[in-house]
């Protein structure tokens, strides 16, 4: 077939694009062109008139991946992006669920303009509920409640479903069940859902309204799922429900890159796909277009030690390339010096963005950052504080959410006294009591308190000013002032912009507010903007930037690629990490091996593996041993760069004299970026 959509595809890729009927699993090895296959398959379905854009649902895990997929498909089809974007159902699991729930949220007791809370909002809500219920527990903190209940929702566990499998002690289970139930009530009262609710509420809606599920099943003739190995239990149930009628389900993934069990991903979803869909056809994409032959040989040699995997063997038409470089450092300071020295050699022109340093845990970055700074090498840490997590950005978004919704109690509590308006904890508690008695939101309670003179003094004055501010902002939108212009005036009139300017790094904070305004100016409506922001789980600062070395954890590096990769700390208890081997050692070990495999396959031309003979951890010296993973690599392609004993001591952090002799260790402190 000489169709443009099939150009530059190898035989298995073509087969994956053109096999349209029935369940299909595409096992896509690292660097094998899975995104190309996904996008061309979607375009092919439409070009062959098997379905219209509205009848194909494609889901993935990040907004970045969804946007790239959408843009590529529209380019392949020659469609005008702005005019046609709404026709496609391409997005994240949470984004597509929110889109469905916007149509039917009223069937579950919500309004269709419900708010979506992130983990920070959830923690604030749990903190308030703990105060209300007199719930004080050193273990069950708001942060732990947020994380644990989120994991339960990923597993489809509602308050009434808790058993001794989740919490053994009956009395403790009863307390947490009460908190979970109260949390869900508070969400409903605030017309809000958290991330876990988006999929769970879809399943609830379909269970109690079968006709709605049937309508979605009829609509979506084809379903495509990216990164299937990362799906959790609720996502699995969501996929099975939607594909139940036509059975034209295509999942693309790689069991060897399943590294997110800690956030609910279940590798068995991909390993048992054939059992769930007996008519499944499997197509393996094994030709790698990223890495050299020796890098693939090393990575394959490692991952072949896993028992719980589906057989495949990556290969490349490219040259074998360099051997795998192994360096055993004197200590972590020497390890950092070696990495910096190699980067300077590899990047004489200063194109540092071609190099990446990958670590198992974030705490490993200290000595590496210091080493790069000493060498004058610019760097960035991927996965740092997100732009959307900065306090001033979150405050401004809370103001916008109160303008957009009468029922967003979490946002209301965040900004009602920011900057100070004389509304202290006592006044806020009074509002909560009014809201409880009147069965209304805090904003309505504030109006009631002002109109009935329930609140006195500075609190009454502050509430009246806040209500007037919000109503003025809403009137501006009604007068066709753009949301971006409204935000500028709102932050000025509220006094918040002046308040931020007087804080530490005030100018930087003002710049962040201006950047938020610029983002708001590029969207169609305030409601759409707030939903995009709420679902922006992957908009992290620290994406690769020109002329900076990337330092990243292995988990955050998935999906990235670099000519030169340094895999640092290949030692027992670090890689594999000791905590991963505690509860279920064999399962944990296989995931750790997959994690190392992911790190190795980020490299295109040259791969370095390093370890330290001595390392300073937790304020004490340790003497690591080689990771078992090093022994599992094909030894003939390892180039041992040797062990170098530094003549420098003290300032280098040398741990000379271990074991025996005197210990001299001087820490050099640097500000971390």
Per the listing, tokens 């169709």 go with 3
User: Is 580 assigned to a binding site?
Assistant: no
- Does this chain's domain 4-103+199-287 share its CATH topology with 304-378+544-640? yes
User: Is 29 assigned to a binding site?
Assistant: yes
**Which CATH superfamily does the domain covering 4-103+199-287 fall into?**
P-loop containing nucleotide triphosphate hydrolases (3.40.50.300)
Q: What is the pLDDT of residue 86?
A: 72
The question of whether 602 is a catalytic residue gets the answer: yes
User: Is 631 assigned to a binding site?
Assistant: no
- Count of residues for the chain? 673
Catalytic residue among 5, 13, 231, 257: 257
The question of whether 34 is a catalytic residue gets the answer: yes
For the chain, the structural domain boundaries read 4-103+199-287, 118-190, 304-378+544-640, 389-536
Per the listing, tokens 């805090």 go with 442
User: Is 43 assigned to a binding site?
Assistant: no
The question of whether 468 is a catalytic residue gets the answer: no
590 and 598 Cβ atoms separated by less than 8 Å: no
For residue 177, count other CB atoms closer than 10 A to its CB: 17
| Residues 649, 449: Cα–Cα separation, whole Å | 69
Per the listing, tokens 């494609």 go with 58
| Residues 149, 519: Cα–Cα separation, whole Å | 32
User: Is 523 assigned to a binding site?
Assistant: no
Element (H, E) at 194: strand 192-194
- pTM, entire model: 0.86
610 and 569 Cβ atoms separated by less than 8 Å: yes
Q: What are phi and psi of 103, to 5 degrees?
A: -80, -30
Residue of 555, 129, 221, 157 lying closest to 359 (CA atoms)? 555
**Which CATH superfamily does the domain covering 304-378+544-640 fall into?**
P-loop containing nucleotide triphosphate hydrolases (3.40.50.300)
User: Is 241 assigned to a binding site?
Assistant: no
The question of whether 21 is a catalytic residue gets the answer: no
The residues, any chain, with a CB within 8 Å of residue 100's CB and separated by 6 or more, are: 202, 205, 216
Q: What is the pLDDT of residue 465?
A: 94
In a 10 Å sphere around its CB, with 0-12 CB exposed, 13-18 middle and 19+ buried, how is residue 231 labelled? Answer: buried
* DSSP output for 405-440: -S--HHHHHHHTTSS--S--HHHHHHHHHHHHHHT-
650: its two tokens = 């003290």
DSSP alpha helix (H) spans, 407-550: 409-415, 425-438, 442-451, 457-478, 483-493, 496-501, 506-521, 526-534
Strands of 56-60's sheet in order across: 89-92, 56-60, 222-225, 249-253, 24-28, 281-285
For residue 326, count other CB atoms closer than 10 A to its CB: 20
User: Is 525 assigned to a binding site?
Assistant: no
Looking at domain 118-190, which of 1.20.1050, 1.10.8, 1.10.10, 1.10.3470 is its CATH number?
1.10.10
Was domain 389-536 assigned CATH 1.10.486.10?
yes
Element (H, E) at 186: helix 170-189
> For strand 324-331 and strand 281-285, is the pairing parallel, antiparallel, or unpaired?
unpaired
| Residues 251, 312: Cα–Cα separation, whole Å | 17
321: its two tokens = 């390339």
Catalytic residue among 34, 266, 312, 360: 34
Which residues does the chain have with pLDDT short of 50?
538-542, 645-673
Catalytic residue among 35, 204, 454, 527: 35
> For strand 620-622 and strand 603-617, is the pairing parallel, antiparallel, or unpaired?
antiparallel
The question of whether 35 is a catalytic residue gets the answer: yes
Peptide bond into 576 cis (omega under 30): yes
User: Is 95 assigned to a binding site?
Assistant: no
């Amino acid at each position: 077939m000489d169709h443009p959509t099939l150009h530059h595809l190898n035989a298995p890729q073509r087969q994956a694009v053109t096999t349209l009927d029935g369940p299909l699993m595409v096992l896509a090895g690292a660097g094998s062109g899975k995104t190309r296959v996904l996008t061309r398959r979607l375009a092919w379905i439409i070009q062959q008139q098997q379905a219209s854009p509205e009848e194909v649902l494609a889901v993935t895990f990040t907004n970045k991946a969804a946007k790239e997929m959408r843009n590529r498909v529209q380019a392949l089809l020659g469609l005008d992006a702005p005019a046609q974007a709404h026709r496609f159902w391409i997005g994240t699991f949470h984004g597509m669920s929110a889109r469905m729930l916007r149509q039917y949220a009223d069937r579950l007791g919500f309004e269709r303009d419900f708010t979506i809370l992130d983990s920070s909002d959830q923690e604030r809500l749990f903190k308030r509920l703990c105060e209300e219920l007199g719930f004080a527990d050193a273990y069950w903190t708001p942060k732990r409640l947020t994380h644990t209940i989120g994991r339960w929702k990923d597993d489809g566990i509602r308050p009434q479903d808790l058993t001794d499998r989740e919490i053994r002690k009956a009395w403790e289970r009863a307390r947490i069940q009460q908190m979970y139930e109260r949390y869900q009530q508070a969400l409903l009262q605030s017309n809000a859902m958290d991330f876990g609710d988006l999929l769970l509420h879809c399943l609830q809606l379909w269970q109690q309204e079968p006709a709605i599920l049937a309508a979605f099943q009829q609509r979506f003739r084809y379903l495509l799922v990216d990164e299937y190995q990362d799906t959790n239990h609720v996502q699995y149930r969501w996929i099975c429900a939607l594909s139940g009628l036509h059975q034209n389900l295509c999942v693309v993934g790689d069991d060897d890159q399943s590294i997110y069990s800690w956030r609910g991903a279940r590798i068995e979803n991909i390993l048992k796909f054939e059992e769930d869909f007996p008519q499944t056809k499997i197509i393996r994409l094994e030709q790698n277009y990223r890495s050299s032959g020796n890098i693939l040989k090393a990575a394959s040699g490692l991952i072949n030690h896993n028992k719980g995997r589906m057989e495949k063997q990556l290969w490349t038409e490219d040259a074998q390339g360099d051997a795998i470089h192994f360096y055993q450092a004197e200590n972590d300071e020497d390890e950092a010096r070696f990495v910096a020295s190699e980067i300077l050699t590899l990047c004489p022109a200063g194109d540092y963005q071609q190099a990446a340093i990958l670590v198992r845990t974030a705490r490993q970055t200290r000595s590496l950052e210091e080493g790069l700074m000493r060498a004058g090498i610019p760097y960035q840490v991927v996965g740092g504080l997100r732009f959307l997590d900065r306090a001033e950005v979150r405050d401004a978004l809370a103001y916008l959410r109160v303008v957009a919704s009468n029922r967003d109690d979490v946002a209301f509590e965040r900004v009602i006294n920011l900057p100070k308006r004389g509304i202290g904890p006592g006044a806020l508690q009074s509002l909560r009591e009014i809201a409880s008695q009147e069965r209304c939101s805090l904003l309505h309670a504030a109006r009631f308190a002002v109109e009935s003179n329930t609140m006195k003094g500075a609190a009454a004055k502050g509430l009246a000013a806040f209500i007037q501010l919000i109503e003025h902002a809403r009137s501006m939108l009604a007068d066709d002032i753009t949301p971006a212009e409204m935000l500028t005036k709102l932050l000025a009139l509220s006094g918040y912009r002046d308040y931020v300017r007087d804080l530490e790094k005030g100018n930087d904070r003002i710049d962040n507010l201006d950047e938020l305004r610029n983002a708001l100016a590029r969207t169609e409506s305030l409601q759409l903007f707030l939903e995009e922001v709420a679902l922006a789980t992957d908009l992290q600062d620290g994406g690769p930037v020109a002329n900076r070395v990337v330092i990243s954890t292995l988990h955050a590096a998935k999906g990235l690629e670099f000519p030169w990769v340094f895999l640092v700390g290949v030692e027992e208890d670090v890689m594999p990490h000791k905590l991963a081997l505690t509860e279920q050692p064999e399962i944990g070990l296989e995931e750790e091996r997959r994690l190392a495999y992911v790190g190795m396959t980020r490299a295109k031309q040259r791969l370095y593996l390093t370890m330290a003979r001595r390392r300073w951890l937790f304020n004490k010296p340790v003497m690591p041993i080689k990771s078992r993973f090093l022994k599992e690599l094909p030894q003939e392609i390892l180039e041992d760069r040797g062990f170098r004993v530094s003549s420098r001591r003290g300032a280098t952090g040398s741990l000379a004299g271990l074991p025996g002799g005197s210990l001299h260790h001087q820490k050099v402190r640097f500000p971390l970026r």
